[in-house]
């Protein structure tokens, strides 16, 4: 492992050399999807050029090789999360698919009157599946509120938790606000009431170390495309004993042990939850992305990114009429803001004309936007390949945009 060097790291990402509207690309939309290093791109090509075959089903050479690579990737991802076994790693289409898997499978154990607790800063993918479960099973959805500074109102947690609470599902890092939530404290309190806990780690695994055994979460979900891998691949971590007790989410090939017209018995973990031909290439590319992250000094990358987030906030504070949406004491490098009465879409459009990619809108957190009584925000979300120089250019472009719109 080499020490983190942002100048060298940027050379690993071909797209960062592109121009947009004649300007060098400044990519500040990492919260939506991250860019891919060359070795991940090469891994995709190599698989389809030299290795492609279906897994778990063939006796021929290519199938055996693909199976070995696929299961080795599972083991590497388990090590990345410090799972106790590769059997606890289930491959999904992404974070949303992983959460829906829990909502169905764990949901089958729930009864009318059982309660699910989420928070007021959840992404829609950690709201809608639980609403659907409540409609299906007669359960009750409760919400831990968000304070004005963008932190959770933890003082309400003891009141909302009860013996009726069967599941707490909480975002680790807010995709809208950048708030890093005190999930370990939440997990301890939830377990004290007998509830299970799911962490939405879509915005955390790429920004800070995540150790599922240390956190003691029961489930954890994340998507590959936000951690420098392709779209269409994700991970559901689930404690082995718990996952073994749950029914599968989907039926089909690979998740079965034996099928007759009268009865089907299911495969062992993790295949029990992986019906059908999987995204083999996506799994291999995700493992490659994690290996890449390990190779560049991840703790150094995380520190660099944390410093960038602070520098971004400090650089923007002097802009007239700036309003940060959420100012939690513990944040990652994501910043949502408004400027006076300027519409976020207009600001984002003018930034794009200057080669800068940001996200505008409600960021799939409409209830949170409604709480702040705003239609949406401009969101700048950074990754370890961003630089202070890019932030300086961003601030200048923002000031030019304000002059045009004012």
Taking the CB of residue 290, how many other CB atoms lie within 10 A of it?
Answer: 24
Quote the tokens at residue 240.
């082995």
The one catalytic residue among 139, 217, 332, 364: 364
Q: Is 306 exposed, middle or buried (0-12, 13-18, 19+ CB in 10 A)?
A: middle
Report the Cα 43 to chain-centroid distance in Å: 22
Residue 178, φ and ψ in degrees, nearest 5: 80, 0
Cβ-proximal residues to 352 (8 Å cutoff; 6+ apart), any chain: 20, 21, 358
Q: Return the bridge partners of 259, or none.
A: 264
Residue 195 to residue 219: CA distance in whole angstroms: 12
Q: Going along 111-244, which residue ranges are E strands? A: 115-119, 140-144, 165-171, 196-200, 219-223, 234-238
Question: Using only C-alpha atoms, what is the Rg of the chain?
Answer: 22
Residue 78 to residue 212: CA distance in whole angstroms: 10
- Is there a catalytic annotation at residue 364? yes
How does strand 234-238 pair with strand 89-92? antiparallel
Q: Going along 75-231, which residue ranges are E strands? A: 89-92, 115-119, 140-144, 165-171, 196-200, 219-223
User: Are 109 and 91 spatial neighbours (Cβ–Cβ below 8 Å)?
Assistant: no
Q: Is 238 helix (H, G, I), strand (E, B) or coil?
A: strand
Closest CA to 187 of 142, 219, 143: 219
Q: Is 292 helix (H, G, I), strand (E, B) or coil?
A: helix
Quote the tokens at residue 303.
């520190």
Residue 199 to residue 51: CA distance in whole angstroms: 34
- HSE at residue 401, side-chain half, CA atoms within 13 A, is 26
Q: Return the bridge partners of 223, or none.
A: 234
For the annotated catalytic residues, the residue numbers are: 364
């Amino acid at each position: 492992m080499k020490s983190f060097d942002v100048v060298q790291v940027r050379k690993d990402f071909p797209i960062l050399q592109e121009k947009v509207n004649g300007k060098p690309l400044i990519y500040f939309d990492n919260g939506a999807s991250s860019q891919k290093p060359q070795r991940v791109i090469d891994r995709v090509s190599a698989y389809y050029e030299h290795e492609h075959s279906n897994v778990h089903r063939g006796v021929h050479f290519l199938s055996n090789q693909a199976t070995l690579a696929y299961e080795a990737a599972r083991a590497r991802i388990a090590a990345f999360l410090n799972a106790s076994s590769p059997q606890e790693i289930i491959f999904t289409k992404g974070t949303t698919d992983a959460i829906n898997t829990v909502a169905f499978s764990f949901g089958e154990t729930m009864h009318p009157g059982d309660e699910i607790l989420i928070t007021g800063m959840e992404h829609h993918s950690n709201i809608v599946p639980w609403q659907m479960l409540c409609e299906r099973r007669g359960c009750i959805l409760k919400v831990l509120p968000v304070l004005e500074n963008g932190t959770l109102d933890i003082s309400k947690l003891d009141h909302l938790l009860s013996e009726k609470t069967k599941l707490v599902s909480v975002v680790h890092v807010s995709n809208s606000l950048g708030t890093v939530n005190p999930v370990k404290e939440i997990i301890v309190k939830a377990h004290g009431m007998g509830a299970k806990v799911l962490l939405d780690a879509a915005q955390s695994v790429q920004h800070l170390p995540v150790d599922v055994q240390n956190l003691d979460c029961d489930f954890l979900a994340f998507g590959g495309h936000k951690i420098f891998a392709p779209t269409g691949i994700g991970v559901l971590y689930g404690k082995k004993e718990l996952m073994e007790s749950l029914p599968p989410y989907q039926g089909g090939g690979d998740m079965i042990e034996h099928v007759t017209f009268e009865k089907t018995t299911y495969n062992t973990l993790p295949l029990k939850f992986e019906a059908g031909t999987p995204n083999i290439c996506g799994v291999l590319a995700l493992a490659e992305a994690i290996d890449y992250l390990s190779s560049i000094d991840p703790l150094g990358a995380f520190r660099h990114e944390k410093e960038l987030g602070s520098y971004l906030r400090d650089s923007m504070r002097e802009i007239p009429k700036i309003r940060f949406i959420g100012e939690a004491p513990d944040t990652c490098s994501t910043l949502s803001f408004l400027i006076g009465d300027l519409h976020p879409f207009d600001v984002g459009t003018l930034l794009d004309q200057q080669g800068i990619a940001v996200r505008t809108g409600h960021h799939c957190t409409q209830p949170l936007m409604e709480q702040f009584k705003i239609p949406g925000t401009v969101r700048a979300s950074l990754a370890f390949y961003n630089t202070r120089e890019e932030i300086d250019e961003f601030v200048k472009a923002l000031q030019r945009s304000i002059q045009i719109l004012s």
